[in-house]
Structure formats: structure tokens, C-alpha cells
Amino acid sequence: MKNVLVTGGAGFIGSNFVRYLLRVEPQIQIINLDALTYAGSLENLKDLPDPQRHIFVQGDICDRALVDRLLAEHHIDTIVHFAAETHVDRSILGPEQFIRTNVMGTFTLLEAARQYWLAEKMPHGDANQVRFHHVSTDEVYGALGPNDPPFSETTPYDPRSPYAASKASSDHLVRAYGHTYGLPYTISNCSNNYGPYQFPEKLIPLIILNALQGRPLPVYGDGQQIRDWLYVEDHCEAIWLVLRKGRAGESYNIGGGNQPPNLQVVQEICEILDELDPESPHTPHSHLIQYVADRPGHDRRYAINAAKVEQELGWRPRQSLSTGLANTVKWYLDNPAWVEAIRKQQEYQGWLAKNYDARQELAKREERK
């Protein structure tokens, strides 16, 4: 693997992956294709290690001519596909963009890869030396009951939000290209990530930033929903391992093995902030917790069985939830310039109003009763 096309590399996991790869692989060239939607930012790509091995291209994965040109111009032998619409709440309020990017965008990349790798033949390699890695989610498996075993690679797909359905659809397309055309691919289905550079619409960074400003900490429903939290750098390490050592045509589930209810995650963040910033006028931060209206169709529990990636490839997460959360809170405290740049985006302020105003109004009405 020499010339890697990363899609969505200005987003949360993609930018962490670019940073990781530049650090651990001294020979690799990265072409980073990202549309810079609200979720992507060049702020995430500042101070890269060895930046001359990274080329950023602003563009859309649905733009076939652009993707064709990048594959040929840079002799791409590896595609790591992160680009997507990723927020479940946004998919509920506006599903169309999820179908376009996640389904049509993945289809466009697959067609371009098929044409370049399998039809035209690469000038410097054969089909066994190329790889399409699709970054997917555990949400394709649906939701677990309290006593169900964790998701394994053979759990049937049962997506339940427009986001999850669009990702499931893209997974099916990738497998179909492997089966029908012989495209060498791998898929990873990962649980909830957290860590540096995460856009503050997702639970953990939202709670940190709201707590710092003394704003309410919105907990959906009863706060007893369960996610399987993984520190982002552990995910990046797993993806790179799957790319180098995973078997083509296989999927690998990746998870952190940390499965507390949401309310506990929020409380832990409050405790870390109380400790790191005891002089804050908002201490104890847990007083800011506010129960708000639930997410429609909210999946109750996710949990990952990561035995395959552990046994086949020797991967294990390095961070526990407590070390990962402490690193993460500290990162947001240590990077006020990043926080300010993201916070002042008009789109972000509009999103907060759109998603939370009605929810909080409902919560206040309940309190008054």
C-alpha cells in the first residue's frame, strides 16, 4: 500500500486516521477527499505530522469524474472510505442527504474503483494489490434486548434509523461488488467512537462543551440506553490492521468493550470536569443534567463481540472508558481555539436550536406538572 485515498478525512474519525497513518507509516502518500460539509473542517487537519505526504482535495464522493481523476493521477492502490452523513438525529429530521452520500456516494466510489482497478488494470499492480476498505457501523445490526448476546459478524442486518439503513445499504453494495466483480474489499463495523476532533453534535463532545458553558446537559428519555464506547485512536489502529492483515471479502466487528448507560457516561464527564476545573461556577456539573424528549425509534442497546478481530489480527483497544474520557475532556479543555472555531459556525448554532429547543420545552412542561 503506497497511495491511499481517504474519503471523509476532514471529519472526526477520518482526520484522526490521517494523523495516525502519517505517524505510523513513513512511506505512504495520502490523498484526502472531503466535501467539507458542516461535519468536516480544515481545523481538524492542522499540525499534521509530515504534512508533505498529505494532499487535501475538497470535493464530493458523488462526483464520478473527480474520483476517476484522483484514482488515476495518484495511482491509488488503497481506498479507505469514511465519508458519510453520520448523525442519527439529523437522519431523522432530513434523511435525503443520507441516501445521497452514504448510498450513491459509496456506489460512485465502487464504480470508479471497479473501472480503474479491474477494467483498466492498474499500471503498477494487479487486483490482489489493491483494497477497498469500507468503514461502517454496528447500527446496521439493529438494537439488542437486555439479555441478547453482542453483535457478531453473522448477526442479521436490521437497521432501524435512516442513517443505519443507508449504511446497511452501502455495506450490501460493497459486498455485492466483491462477489460479482471480484473487487478486493474489507468492511469494519464499529461501535460509538469518541475522542479529539469530534463534532459537538454527538453525545460526548456535546456534553463537554455544554458543561463548560453552564448549559443544560440533554439526556434523551431515561438515559438508560447503552452504547459500546471506543476511543478513536483504537479504531484507527484496528482499521489499519484490517487493511494490512485482514482477509479480503471479510467483515470485522470493532468495539471498545465499555458499555455503561448514557446517564453514567454523562455523570463521568461531569466528575472529570469537577476535578479538572474545581473553580468553575458550574461545579458540580451534574446539576446541569436535564432529561429531554427521547429520540424517535431510539435503539436501546448496542454491544460488540470483537472476538474475530482479536483472535485473527491480535487487536485489542488500548484505552478503557475512564482513561479515554479523561484524555478527551482534557483535549477539549486544551484546545479552546478549535472549540471556538467549531462553536461559532452558524450551522451548528442552528442545529442546536432545531434539535433541542422543542425537546427542552417539553422537559420544562413536564417539570411544571
Which 142-181 residues touch ligand NAD, going by CB under 6 A?
167
Number of other residues whose CB lies within 10 A of the CB of residue 56: 19
- Ranges of beta strands (E only) in the chain are 3-7, 29-34, 54-58, 78-81, 131-137, 185-190, 193-194, 217-220, 230-231, 250-254, 289-292
* Residue 258 is a binding residue for ligand DAU (CB under 6 A): no
Nearer to ligand DAU, 192 or 267 (CB): 192
Q: Which is nearer to ligand NAD, 87 or 285 (CB)?
A: 87
Q: Is 21 in the site for ligand DAU (CB under 6 A)?
A: no
220 binds ligand DAU, rule: CB under 6 A? yes
Q: Which of 60, 77, 89, 139 is catalytic?
A: 139
> Is 138 among the residues that bind ligand DAU (CB under 6 A)?
yes
The interface partner of residue 10, options being ligand NAD, ligand DAU, none and the CB cut-off 5 to 8 Å by kind, is: ligand NAD
Helix (H, G, I), strand (E, B), or coil: what is residue 186?
Answer: strand
144: nearest Cα among 311, 305, 293: 305
Question: Site mask, ligand NAD, residues 109-148, x = CB under 6 A?
Answer: --------------------------x-x-----------
CB nearer to ligand DAU: give 67 or 203: 203
Instruction: Select the binding partner of residue 237 from ligand DAU, ligand NAD, none (C-beta < 5 to 8 A, by kind).
Output: none
12 contacts 197 by C-beta, under 8 angstroms: yes
344 vs 133: CA distance, rounded Å:
34
Per-residue binder mask for ligand DAU (CB under 6 A), 51-90, x = binder:
-----------------------------------xxx--
Which stretches of 43-181 are assigned E, i.e. beta strand?
54-58, 78-81, 131-137
148 catalytic? Reply is no
Residue 218's binding partner out of ligand DAU, ligand NAD, none, with CB under 5 to 8 Å set by partner kind: ligand DAU
Dihedral sign for Cα 138, 17, 131, 74, please: positive
Q: Is 138 a catalytic residue?
A: yes
* CA-based torsion, 165, 186, 81, 118: positive or negative: negative
Task: Convert residues 86-105 into a mask of x (bound to ligand NAD by CB under 6 A) and - (unbound).
Answer: x--------------x---x
Closest distance between ligand DAU and the C-beta of residue 262, in Å?
5
Nearest CA to 241 out of 175, 317, 168 is that of 317
Closest Cα partner for 40 from 22, 21, 65, 59? 59
Residue 147 in contact with residue 119, Cβ under 8 Å? no
Write down the least CB distance from residue 165 to ligand NAD, Å.
12
Shortest separation between residue 76's beta carbon and ligand NAD, angstroms = 15
Distance between CA 30 and CA 232 in Å, rounded? 19
Q: Is the dihedral of CA 285, 287, 291, 292 positive or negative?
A: negative
CB atoms inside a 10 Å sphere around CB 294: 15
- Helix, strand or coil for residue 177? helix
How many residues of this chain bind ligand NAD (CB under 6 A)? 30
Residue 243 binds which entry of ligand DAU, ligand NAD, none, CB below 5-8 Å type-dependent: none
The answer to the question of residue 17 lying near ligand DAU (CB under 6 A) is: no
Q: In sequence order, what are the beta bridge partners of 56?
A: 32
Shortest CB 31 distance to ligand DAU, Å: 23
Residue with Cβ nearer ligand DAU (202 or 282): 202
Q: How far apart are CB 362 and ligand NAD at their closest, in Å? A: 27
Question: Which one of the listed residues 85, 138, 237, 299 is annotated catalytic?
Answer: 138
Question: Using the rule CB under 6 A, is 238 a contact of ligand DAU?
Answer: no
163 is catalytic: yes
- Could you identify the residue written with the cell 455523570? 267
| Stretch 56-85 residues interacting with ligand NAD (CB under 6 A) | 60-62, 82-84
Q: Are 160 and 299 in contact (CB under 8 A)?
A: yes
Residues labelled as active-site residues: 138-139, 163
Q: Which residues bind ligand DAU (CB under 6 A)?
A: 86-88, 137-139, 191-192, 202-203, 206, 218-220, 225, 227, 262, 295, 302
